[in-house]
Amino acid sequence: MLVRLSGDSPLHLQIYQAFREAILEGRLAPGARLPSSRGEARSLGVSRNVVLQAYAQLVAEGYLTGSVGSGTYVATELPEVTLGGPAHRSRSDGQSSSKVRLSAYGARAANASTFSSRKRVRYDFAYGVSRPDDTTLRQWQRALRKAGERPSLDYGPPEGESSLREAIAAHLFKNRGVRCSASEVVVTSGSQQALSLISRMFFEPGDAVVVEEPSYQGARHLFESDGLRVLAHPVDQDGLDIGTSGPDARACYVTPSHQFPTGVTMPLARRLRILAWAEARDAVVIEDDYDSEYRYEGRPLEAIQRLDSHGRVIYVGTFSKVLFPAVRLGFVVLPPSLVATFIKTKWLADRHSPRLEQRALAELIASGTFEQHQRRARARNASRRAALMEALASELGGAVELSGANAGIHLLAWLTSVPLSGLDQIVEKALAEGVGLYPVSPYYTSTPPRAGLLFGYGNLEEGDIREGIRRFARVLRSLV
Amino acid sequence: MLVRLSGDSPLHLQIYQAFREAILEGRLAPGARLPSSRGEARSLGVSRNVVLQAYAQLVAEGYLTGSVGSGTYVATELPEVTLGGPAHRSRSDGQSSSKVRLSAYGARAANASTFSSRKRVRYDFAYGVSRPDDTTLRQWQRALRKAGERPSLDYGPPEGESSLREAIAAHLFKNRGVRCSASEVVVTSGSQQALSLISRMFFEPGDAVVVEEPSYQGARHLFESDGLRVLAHPVDQDGLDIGTSGPDARACYVTPSHQFPTGVTMPLARRLRILAWAEARDAVVIEDDYDSEYRYEGRPLEAIQRLDSHGRVIYVGTFSKVLFPAVRLGFVVLPPSLVATFIKTKWLADRHSPRLEQRALAELIASGTFEQHQRRARARNASRRAALMEALASELGGAVELSGANAGIHLLAWLTSVPLSGLDQIVEKALAEGVGLYPVSPYYTSTPPRAGLLFGYGNLEEGDIREGIRRFARVLRSLV
């Protein structure tokens, strides 16, 4: 007996499903004749209409052929294969799931160590979060509403909304001395996408790329997944030194304005050397200017992009640090000869970035609101930074050594009295005290020279910063 | 004389720029001594303070060393290289721009034929635009506002907002019979990104992929740019037939519910054959269900995904057809064993899709608003379709032959009396009459069998459809 009635679903659906499964599993072979609707109804104890309804659906879907009167048959053109496991089972059950072959990229990506935001604790020194103040949030909501009132419904240009490209070009010139026309700016979905498209456009698996040691691991994981050989060059207090001959590589990925995560600034001589190296090696320079909006002392150094007269620098920027991470908007500034190809690469990847946010951001920048926000955020983060440095000095004194404190929204603290092996225990104990601490080790390709912690302060009030450091100091004293 | 004062910018900036250029271009060598500020001020006829200001900036930026009194020198650690063309020139001038080497992918992408929306005309039969009605727009705006009131500021999960994944799983089960749990759904930035990530995850350059002939060219261009061998299999009135042995390929990209662009539906037997083929060849099936929401007669056939018991089908969906194109949100439903790797691939590509739109869409679906919208849109598009078919029949009669009219937001019309070579002239003349016509040829890898036009009707009122066809008929009569 093929059909067994049970469960709550309508009778005709139960009958339909039972026959469907029997056909898919081969228990009813192609060409087999079905019981008459009258006979089936009798043996199931249901009305004939119910069976007719089930048969009709199976005919409509191609499982059965024939019509009332002339008899009903399993469709003969169904392939003579058993399709494996019971067809009604959700694939989640997984028993019969084949092992599908991945590409080399897929296999590497499967093992990539991506990361996601950890659950927040009360005193969380997580890096990369800069919470905007209420004024900025309101202005952002207003800009979104305004952009949404007359929404752009059609596909947008792959290179980005022209209003946003104009706004970015003007913003960069004013704030970073980056000279570019709007036509050299391409909007991306965050700087992660910018790096991903650059990597595809320029590099082959096996190519070498120079990165800083330590460096932003989102970029490094990407390069590794793309099959590149990552050459990690150590940074000193002046950042990365490519040297006079320089390694044989296709690219150098650098954060010259504010090295991530050490926070040091690369002086002019080294910047020029990187440009000379790139020209000699036929390489590109990827300049990631992820947080140069936050600089508290002195004038920011000009971007490498501005020194480039050979069209070898690709400048990458993002709004996730100066606004907030969920704004998935970044951009690249490209040498003119590379713009068209980059735009095609972007189109192939996802056609274009979200228009609504693009237009809201363009409005925010063009109206001057964004600059006011920047100024406020800079002041706020400067106070946070002062509070953090003060707290570290007064609570921990000589037990920490700070690196790169005059810019950004984080600083790096080397723990002078803690061995590398002792860090995990500190992090764990601090977490129990409500303090989120983040070792610098994930940013290294090898073992870091000493125990270091990255303190992000863009998301904490000054009082919380002080209390967090107090608790951290207590943990440290209890263990060392 | 190095400095020549002219132009409107402040004097100290002009002096700064002149020395900066001289140093970068090698006219002032590393170690060279600069004129004293007093002497330079005298020879330029400016106050000494102006020169001091310029020198100070150059010192701060690393071009010069020394201080007032002890003499000022060009920094010795600057590399002994001339950096090529004048450094003050914007790169846009391009003269000295090097030819930067691209990857094989980059070179292919440079030649990819991507496409963007054409400028709209009054009677535009462009495909793929479905303008939502005012009610839907208002509801979408409200959902956006609601999502924006308590914005998610932090990075989001790469797999998408859980509320949206839940909503999509429920929506698919109800509307498409696709059985999946939310954990098998990954949100992407449109179906273009879904296809791009699938291609990277599974295919190597040189791999073969079966596509329909004709087919959606956005997918084909992507596969070609990825270096795949595209095997175009002709579709007949039952869609693509993979055959009993089937080609040796890594994947088959199909639109079984409503073949794009011919509009035909693939019957069960062929669907099952594709599954059997994929299992035999260790291949994946990419099922693009781009517009199955719009079906006007009969019950939609169940998705191939539902027949898959081996975990070989990746179901791709999008909201750009049922809402509007600028909503860059699509999704994939993956076999459980492939979910984790796909999420990593997504992370590496752009971390995550925009949270605001995701949350707004989740709200729209969960509240039932989306389903109401779908129902209204279906009714509206059914009337448009009826108007189009009626107009084509009454104005053109036997001169057109329609394909695939019972679903979607477009139909394909073969022109029986027009030779292939005559189509361009018709399109051009129609455009002059305010009618946007779209030949089917771009969807073919080779020459189409006959002259055909794709009529999108999702963005036109019934009156405009009738008037557009009237004008088209007039053009046709004047030429044939």
pLDDT in tens, B388-439: 999 999 999 889 999 876 778 899 999 999 999 999 999 999 999 999 999 9
pLDDT for residue B229: 97
pLDDT for residue A423: 95
Least Cα separation, residue A158 to chain B (angstroms): 8
- Residues in chain B with CB shorter than 8 Å from the CB of A157 are 116
Torsion B139-B144-B149-B152 (CA) sign:
positive
- Average of per-residue pLDDT across B285-296: 85
- Average of per-residue pLDDT across B28-43: 89
pLDDT for residue B119: 72
Lowest mean pLDDT segment, chosen from A195-204, B6-15, B83-92, B218-227: B83-92
- Helix (H) or strand (E) holding A231, with range, is strand A229-236
Q: Do B94 and A340 touch (CB under 8 A)?
A: no
- Per-residue pLDDT of B339-372, as tens digits, reads 999 999 999 999 999 999 999 999 999 999 999 9
pLDDT for residue A92: 47
pLDDT for residue B456: 93
Residue with tokens 């996730």, as numbered in its chain: A320
Nearest by CB to A153, from B154, B326, B344: name it. B326
- Neighbouring CB atoms inside 10 A of B205's CB total 13
Q: Do B309 and A89 touch (CB under 8 A)?
A: yes
| Rg, C-alpha atoms of chain B | 30
- Per-residue pLDDT of A447-458, as tens digits, reads 999 999 999 998
Q: Do B149 and A155 touch (CB under 8 A)?
A: no
Lowest mean pLDDT segment, chosen from A71-85, A171-185, A267-281, B437-451: A71-85
B33 phi, psi to nearest 5 deg: -90, 135
CA separation for the pair A37, A412 (Å, rounded):
78
Q: Show the 3-state SS of A332-348.
A: EECCHHHHHHHHHHHHH
CA B370 to chain centroid, in Å, comes to 24
Q: Do B61 and A301 touch (CB under 8 A)?
A: yes
Q: Do A196 and B158 touch (CB under 8 A)?
A: no
- Average of per-residue pLDDT across A393-416: 89
pLDDT for residue B84: 47
Do A230 and A445 form a contact (C-beta atoms < 8 A)? yes
- Per-residue pLDDT of A133-155, as tens digits, reads 899 999 999 999 999 888 888 88
Least Cα separation, residue B394 to chain A (angstroms): 31
Least Cα separation, residue A416 to chain B (angstroms): 32
Q: Do B90 and A153 touch (CB under 8 A)?
A: no
- Residues in chain B with CB shorter than 8 Å from the CB of A200 are 103, 105-106, 109
- Residues in chain A with CB shorter than 8 Å from the CB of B185 are none
For residue B88, pLDDT over 70 is answered with no
CA separation for the pair B152, B162 (Å, rounded):
13
CA separation for the pair A220, A198 (Å, rounded):
13
For residue A67, pLDDT over 80 is answered with no
Lowest mean pLDDT segment, chosen from A119-133, A217-231, A443-457, B409-423: A119-133
- Per-residue pLDDT of A229-259, as tens digits, reads 999 999 999 999 998 888 999 999 999 988 9
pLDDT for residue B324: 85
Torsion B97-B99-B103-B107 (CA) sign:
positive
Q: Do A307 and B87 touch (CB under 8 A)?
A: yes
- Residues in chain A with CB shorter than 8 Å from the CB of B275 are 83
How many inter-chain contacts (A to B, CB under 8 Å) are there?
373
- Residues in chain A with CB shorter than 8 Å from the CB of B207 are 103
H helix and E strand count, chain B: 15, 16
Reported pTM: 0.90
- Residues in chain A with CB shorter than 8 Å from the CB of B90 are 179-181
- β-bridge mates for residue B73, sequence order: B33, B65
- Residues in chain B with CB shorter than 8 Å from the CB of A181 are 90, 92
Least Cα separation, residue B46 to chain A (angstroms): 25
For residue A215, pLDDT over 50 is answered with yes
A318 phi, psi to nearest 5 deg: -150, 155
A6 pLDDT band, cuts 50/70/90, is: confident
pLDDT for residue A223: 97
Torsion B5-B9-B11-B13 (CA) sign:
negative
A175 pLDDT band, cuts 50/70/90, is: confident
Nearest residue on chain A to B158, judged by CA atoms? A116
- Residues in chain B with CB shorter than 8 Å from the CB of A128 are 155
In whole angstroms, how far apart are CA A414 and each of A241, A381, A399, B317? 22, 21, 8, 49
pLDDT for residue A88: 39
Nearest by CB to B106, from A140, A141, A202: name it. A202
Query: DSSP assignment of A204-230, as one string?
Result: -TT-EEEEEES--HHHHHHHHHTT-EE
- Residues in chain A with CB shorter than 8 Å from the CB of B177 are none
Single-letter code of the amino acid located at A334: L
User: Which has the closest alpha carbon to B406: B241, B204, B202, B259?
Assistant: B259
CA separation for the pair B160, B354 (Å, rounded):
9
In whole angstroms, how far apart are CA B249 and each of A162, A277, B206, B228? 41, 43, 10, 10
CA separation for the pair A293, A164 (Å, rounded):
18
pLDDT for residue B90: 47
Nearest residue on chain B to A96, judged by CA atoms? B310
Angle A18-A23-A26 (CA atoms, 0-180°, nearest 5)?
Answer: 125
For residue A105, pLDDT over 80 is answered with yes
In whole angstroms, how far apart are CA A336 and each of A158, A332, A353, B83, B89? 16, 12, 21, 18, 13
pLDDT for residue B443: 95
CA separation for the pair B425, A411 (Å, rounded):
66
Q: Do B83 and A153 touch (CB under 8 A)?
A: no
H helix and E strand count, chain A: 15, 16
Q: Which one of A154, A178, A179 makes the best mutation probe of the B interface by having the most chain B beta carbons within 10 Å?
A: A154
pLDDT for residue A93: 47
CA separation for the pair B350, B332 (Å, rounded):
16
For residue B337, pLDDT over 70 is answered with yes
Q: Do A268 and B326 touch (CB under 8 A)?
A: no
The helix/strand/coil state of B151 is coil
Nearest by CB to B357, from A86, A336, A354: name it. A354
For residue B74, pLDDT over 70 is answered with yes
Give, as one character, the DSSP assignment of residue A258.
S
Least Cα separation, residue B54 to chain A (angstroms): 13
For residue B53, pLDDT over 80 is answered with yes
Q: Do A337 and B157 touch (CB under 8 A)?
A: no
Q: Do B153 and A308 touch (CB under 8 A)?
A: no
- Residues in chain A with CB shorter than 8 Å from the CB of B326 are 151-156, 354-356
- β-bridge mates for residue B331, sequence order: B187, B317
Q: Do B336 and A91 touch (CB under 8 A)?
A: yes
pLDDT for residue B86: 45
The residue that leads in pLDDT, A40 or B114, is A40
Q: Do B335 and A91 touch (CB under 8 A)?
A: yes
